[in-house]
Chains A and B, each alone.
Chain A
Amino acid sequence: MKQTQTKDRNMGGGLVGDNIGLNEEVIKKTCSLSFKAHNSENEPYISELFRISSDLTEYLVLSFPGSWVETDWFVRKSFGETKIDLAKFPLLKSVGNDETALVNQAFFNRFERLLKLSSFVAEVKKAIAEGKQVVFTGHSSGAVLAILATFWALEEYLYPTKIQIQHKSPMCVTFGSPLVGNHIFSHASNREKWSHHFIHFVMQYDIVPRIFLAPFSSIEKLISPVLQLLTPNNNSLTQDPIRDSVTCEFYSTVMRNAATVTSHVACNLMGSTNLLLETMTNFVELSPYRPFGTYIFCNGNGQMIVVKNSDAVLQLMFHIAQLRDLAQLSEVANKSILQHLAYEAELEESLGMQNVVYLNKLDDLPLSSGEGHDTDIAAALDSLGLSARARLCLRAAGELEKQKERNEEKIKKEFQDKAVPSMRDLEEYKSTCEINNGKGYYDAFKVQKEPKDFQANVKRLVLAGVWDEIIEMLKRYELPDEFEGKKEWIEHGTRFRRLVEPLDIANYHRHLKNEDTGPYMNKARPKRYRYTQRWLEHANRSPKAEITESTFWAEVEELCSWTSNNKPFEDIKERVLKLEQDIKMWTDKEVLTKDVLSKDPTFIKLWETLPQEHKATSCISTLFTVKE
C-alpha cells in the first residue's frame, strides 16, 4: 500500500555548503590543497591563508601529505589498533564506561611526529587566537593527520574553560580517508557535539576507506603493490594482466571482509539475540574500526549523498561498492583504485551541479524504487544500486538511533515521576536532621532509629532503582551518544551523588559490611556513583579524585576503625592530612556544610582519637572550636 507523504520529508534542504557549514569554494580549495600537499612530500604540511568573495572570514587551510610507505599504514598486527593516548585526547573515551578509544597505531605514530613540530603548533595556535577559521584537510593517509589534528586542536584550544568568543572551531575536510578509530570516535564526537566538524568525501568505489575492514594478514601479500598503485602521479596506470590480478584480488579480499563485519554489525542493529554472533568471534577476525562524522558519498555522476548516522555509513560503505555480477569484477576493481585519485575532478562537477540528497529519516527509507513518496531519495538509492537487503540495514540503523531517543524519553519520565520527589524528600530529611538532632543525616541514617530514617532508606532505594537503570543502559550504549555530555544530566547526577551517596556509605557501615567485604571504596561503591563522578570530572576536565565530597564518609569510617584499633597514627597521618585539606576546601566552597561534620559522632570519634599535637595545627581545627 502506498502512502502519500509530503515531498520534502527526507530533505535536510539547501545547498551542500550551507548544510555542512562550509562554503563550496572552501571545499574545492581544500581538495586541491590536499592533492598539492602530496607533491611537497618533504614538507610535513602546507598551509594557505585566504578569503572568499562571499564572506569576511579569513581561512587558514592546513593540508597534510599522504605517505605510501607500508609502515605508515600498518604495524603488521591483525588490525594494528592501540588505545589512544588520553593525555593528548582526553575526550576520546566513553565517560561512564571509562572505555578508551582505539586508534590505528601506525597513523597515531605519524601524528605524534607531527605534533613535535613547534612551527605547526604555533601556527595553529596563532590562527585560532586571531579568530581565523582553521581547516585541516588531507587526502588518503594525509586525511588521517587532518582528523587527529582537528581533535587535538578542538581539545587544546576550544574546550569549555578556554574558549573565547572570537575563536572559531576548526573544521576537518577529508578525501578518501581510511578509517582511523573504533566506535568510541563516533560516540565521543557526538557527545561533544563535534561530529559536524568532520566532513569526509568518499567516492562510491574508492577502496581506501574500506581497507581497514580487512585484517592485515588477509592483504599482507598485496599491500605493497597496491600502495604503489594508489600513489598519486604514479606511472603504472596502464592496464596490464599482473596489475589486474592484484587489484581484483585486493578488491575481493577487502570487500569480503567488509561483508563479514558489516553483516555482523547489521545483525546487532536489527536486534538479533542469536549468540552465534558472539561464538563466531572466536573464529572470525572482526575489524574494530568504524566511521564517524558527516560522510558525503559521490556516486561518480555528480550526485552527492550526505549521511550522518555512522552505523548507516558503515553499511553504505559495503553495499554501494558491491558488484552487480562477477563479470564486472575487473572493471570495478580497477575503479576502486582509480576513484581514490579522482576527487578533484568529481568535486568540481558535483559541487557545481548541487545534486544533493540527505539521508536523514533512515527508519522509513523506501524499500524499492517503486515506492515513490520521495523521488529524490528513491532515485539516489537506485543510482547507488542499493538492494532491498541494504535498505533494510539502513532502516535498522535509523531505527536504532530512534530507539535510543525513545529510551532517553522513557528515562526522563521515570526520573520525573520517581527520582524528583524522592530527592525532594531526602533534601528535607537532611535539613530536618540537622535542625532537630543537631547531628547530621549521616549519623541519623546510620542509627536508623526513627520512622523518618526508615522512610529515607526507602527513598534511597527508589533512587537507586532509577539510576541503576540509567547506568545499565549506558553500559550497553543504549542511550543517545549525547547523553553523558548533557548539562542537565550531569547536574542531576552530581546532586544525586552528593546527597545520597553518604546514605549508601552509612548503610554499608551500619551492616558492618566493611568488616567482611572490605572497604566501601574498593569493594562496594555502586556504579551509579562511579559514573556520575566521572561525568562531573569530565565536564570540568578535572583529574580523577580518590576521595570526593560524597565519599569522604567512607574515608572517615576507614580511618576511624584504624585509630579505634589502636594502630599507630603515623601510618595514616598522610591520609588524615589529605582528608582534612579536602574537607577544608569543600567547606570553603560550601559543597559541605560545617555542621554536617563537626557534630557527627563518627567524625567526632575520629577527631578525638587523633593526637593532640596534630589537632592543634590542623587546618580544620576551627570546626571544633566550641567543642575543644
Chain B
Amino acid sequence: MTQSKLFSSGIELASFVTSSTILSKSWTTISSDNYENGVGLSWKLDKETGSDFTILAFKATSDDSSSVQADLISSDELKEDNFLDFEFLCSKKIPTFSLNKTAVSLFRENHQEFDSLKTEINSSNPRTPLIVTGHGLGGSIASLFVISLLHNIGSVKNRPLCITFGSLLVGDRRLQQAISRSSIWNSCFIHVLSHKDPLPRLFITDRTSTYMPFGTFILCSDATSFENPDSIFEIFVALASVHDKNQELESVDYGNIVKNLYRKATWIDFPAQAENLTNPDSLATDISLQLGALSLTPHVQENVGFNTLETKLKELEERFFLQKRILFDPSKKLNDRKVDMAQLEWYKKKSKNEQIGYYDSFKNMNFPDDYDVNQFHKRLTFYWEKMVEEAEMKPQKEGAAFRTRWLYAGTTYRRMVEPLSIAKYYSEGGKDYINNKRSEHFKQLEEWLFEDSQNRTSDVNSTPRKNVEAILTIDSCFWAHVEEALLLCGELKGVKEKDDVLKKLFKIEVYVYGLLKDYAVSPEIFLARSSYIRWWNEYKKIKGSSYTSALANFMNDDTKIKQYAIGAYDFP
C-alpha cells in the first residue's frame, strides 16, 4: 500500500526481534560447550528433541577476531578455482562480487564437513526451522553458511535464519546487491551489534570503504533496527568517528545485552518526553528516537554533526521506501496491455479480410490504421521488455515462479508482436533480423517457454489441428525467414554462382514445409497479398513450373490449402 505519510518501523522491528526468544536461545548455544573441531573453526549442531528449532553455532578458534584482514577475494577467482558454492549469486547485472578472504578460506577448509552438516540438517524429521549463529568471525562463517543455503529456499517454511553477534562484514557492495535482489534472501539475516563494539566496523573506516552490510541490523544500546544498507553504512561511519578515537578495544558482552533486551521488552524503553520531539513529522521523530537509542544524541556528536546525520538518514530512508514501493508491479498494468492486445487482434482480423494479413499491412503502412498500430506495438514492447528484465533480476526460484505465471501471456505477446518488429526492420531495409536485430526479451521469452515445456507433459505448442485458423504462427520469427527468402530471390538475379543461394532457399522451403506439417503456421500466410505468397511466386518462377517438391506439391493445389485452413488436410 502506498502510504503518503512515512514511518520508520526500525524500533518496532527491533522490539519484535528482541522480545522473542530467538536471540537468547542462539546465544545459549554459542556459549555452551562440546563443540566439534574443524580447521580453524568449531561448531555445534543443537537439535534437542521437542525444541522449536535447530540451532547451528560457529566459533573461530583463533580468539582474536580483530586481527582479521580486510583483504577481499572475488567470485571470479573462486570460480577459476572451481569453488562454486556462491556462484549462483552472479547474474547478468551483477556478474561478480567479492568476499572477505579470511572468512572464505575458513569456509573452504571445512567444506566437506559443512556438506555433511547440511545433510544432517536436512535429514531431521520432522523438519524444524534452522537458526545459524555465531559471534565475531564465527558470525561471518554463519553468514557464509546461510548464503550457501539460499538458492534452495522457496517457501516461508524453508527459510533459515542467520543471527550474528558483533560479526565482521563479509563482502562488498556487489555482494549486498546480489543478495538484495531477493527480499526473501535479504530477510534471512539478522546482525546484532552493540554501538560500542568496534569489530563490525573494522572494515568501514570512512566513506571510501568497499565493504557493505546486508540483511537487517539490530543496533543497540537500546535496540533499533535498519534494513537499508546505505543507512547502516552512514551509522557505522558516525559510530566510528564518535567511539574509536577515545576508546580502547573492550570486548562487548553480547550475552548480557541479549538478556537485557529480552527483559526490557516489557518496560518503556524510550523517554515519554524526549527533547526535540516537537517535529510533527513522524519519520523525523522516528529517526531521532532511533539515533537516541544508539546514544548518537546531539551531546555526543560534536564532530559528526548530528543534524546532518539525521537529515541524511531521513533522506536515505525515504528513498529506500519509495524504491521498494514503486517496484514494477506487472499485474497492475496487465489489463491495460490486454486492451492493446485486443486492438492488435482486431487489426489482424481486419487485415485478413483485406486479403493481406496484418504482417504485410503493417509493413506497407498504407492506411491510418497501420500507423495507429505503432503505438500499441511500442507500449507492448516497452511493457514486456521491462517485465523480462524484472524476471531476470530475480533469483532462480522466485524467477521461475514468476515466469510460469506470465508465460502464457508472454508467449501470445511474442507471437503476435514480434512479426511487427520484423516488418518494421525489413521495411527500413534491414537484413538478417535474427542475428542483427532480434531483441533480448524475445529470445528470453522463447527460452523460458522451451524450459517450461521440458517440465510439463502438455505442450503449449501443440494445438488441436482444427483450430489452426485461430492460431498465431508458433515460430515468431517465421516472417524473418520469409523476408530472407525474398532477399535471396533478389540476390539470385545478380550472382553467377547460384548454387549456394539456391541451397539456402531450399533450406527455407524445407523449414516452411516442416511447420505446415505440424500445423504450426497460421493459414493467413496464404492470403493473396502476403509476402509469403509473393516469395512463393518468385521462387516458383526461378524453379520453373515443372518443379516438384513436397511444398510445391502442397502449394500448387488450392484445395489442399483450403483443407489446411480447417485442419482437415492430412500431410503424406
Contacts and interface: CB of A to CB of B under 8 A. Distances in A.
A601 B282 CA distance: 64
Contacts of A478: 1
Given A279-B159, A465-B336, A515-B464, A270 B20 contact: no
Interface of B: 1, 3-9, 11-13, 15-17, 19-22, 52-53, 129, 131, 156-157, 159, 161, 183-184, 186-188, 190, 216, 227, 262-263, 265-274, 277-280, 282, 285-286, 289, 321, 324-325, 331-332, 335-336, 338-339, 342-343, 345-346, 349, 458, 463-464, 467, 470
A403 interface: yes
B339 A276 contact: no
Given A270-B8, A273-B324, A326 B267 contact: yes
A266 B331 contact: no
Nearest to A451: B346
18 contacts: A3-B280, A252-B266, A263-B13, A263-B15, A272-B9, A272-B13, A276-B187, A276-B227, A322-B268, A368-B272, A385-B272, A396-B282, A399-B7, A403-B1, A454-B346, A457-B346, A458-B339, A461-B339
B272 A369 contact: yes
A237 interface: no
Interface string A390-415: 10110110011001001100000000
B266 A256 contact: yes
Which of A1, A389, A458, A515 counts the most chain B CB atoms within 10 A?
A389
A274 B216 contact: yes
Contacts of A367: 277, 279-280, 282, 285
A407 B1 CA distance: 9
Nearest to A260: B19
B271 A279 contact: no
A478 B3 CA distance: 11
B470 A511 contact: yes
Contact of A464 (B16, B52, B289, B338): B338
Interface string A459-481: 00110110011001000101000
Contact of A271 (B3, B188, B335, B464): B3
Q: How would you classify the secondary structure of chain A's contact residues: helix, strand, loop or mixed?
A: helix
Given A267-B12, A283-B129, A368-B278, A403 B3 contact: yes
A613 interface: no
Given A2-B278, A259-B15, A273 B5 contact: no
A467 B6 CA distance: 28
Which of B1, B52, B277, B336 counts the most chain A CB atoms within 10 A?
B1
A198 B173 CA distance: 54
A260 B273 CA distance: 24
Contacts of A406: 4
A461 B270 CA distance: 53
The 5 closest A-B pairs by CB, nearest first: A465-B335, A275-B187, A270-B7, A259-B19, A272-B9
Interface size class of A (residues with CB under 8 A): 35 or more
Given A260-B16, A263-B15, A280-B17, A388 B9 contact: no
Contacts of B161: 279-280, 282-283
Given A387-B271, A399-B3, A512 B470 contact: yes
Contacts of B7: 269-271, 392, 395-396, 399
A574 interface: no
B41 to A, nearest CB: 25
A393 to B, nearest CB: 7
Contacts of B280: 1, 3, 364, 367, 371
Contacts of B325: 273
A48 B267 CA distance: 43
Interface of A: 1-3, 251-252, 255-257, 259-260, 263-264, 266-267, 269-284, 319, 322-326, 363-364, 367-371, 382, 385-390, 392-393, 395-396, 399-400, 403, 406-407, 448, 451, 454, 457-458, 461-462, 464-465, 468-469, 472, 476, 478, 511-512, 515-516
Contacts of B9: 266-267, 270-272, 274
Contacts of A255: 265-266
Which of B7, B187, B345 counts the most chain A CB atoms within 10 A?
B7
Contact of A256 (B265, B342, B463): B265
Nearest to A217: B52
A458 B342 contact: yes
A572 B325 CA distance: 51
B4 A403 contact: yes
A620 to B, nearest CB: 32
B129 A278 contact: no
Which of A2, A251, A267, A277 counts the most chain B CB atoms within 10 A?
A267
Contacts of B11: 389
Contact of A273 (B157, B184, B282, B321): B321
A515 B463 CA distance: 10
Contacts of B1: 271, 403, 407, 476, 478
A363 B281 CA distance: 11
Given A266-B9, A283-B129, A512-B467, A457 B342 contact: yes
Given A283-B20, A369-B273, A465-B338, 16 more contacts: A260-B15, A274-B227, A276-B13, A277-B13, A283-B131, A364-B280, A368-B274, A371-B280, A386-B272, A389-B289, A395-B7, A458-B342, A461-B342, A465-B335, A511-B470, A515-B464
Contacts of B274: 368, 388
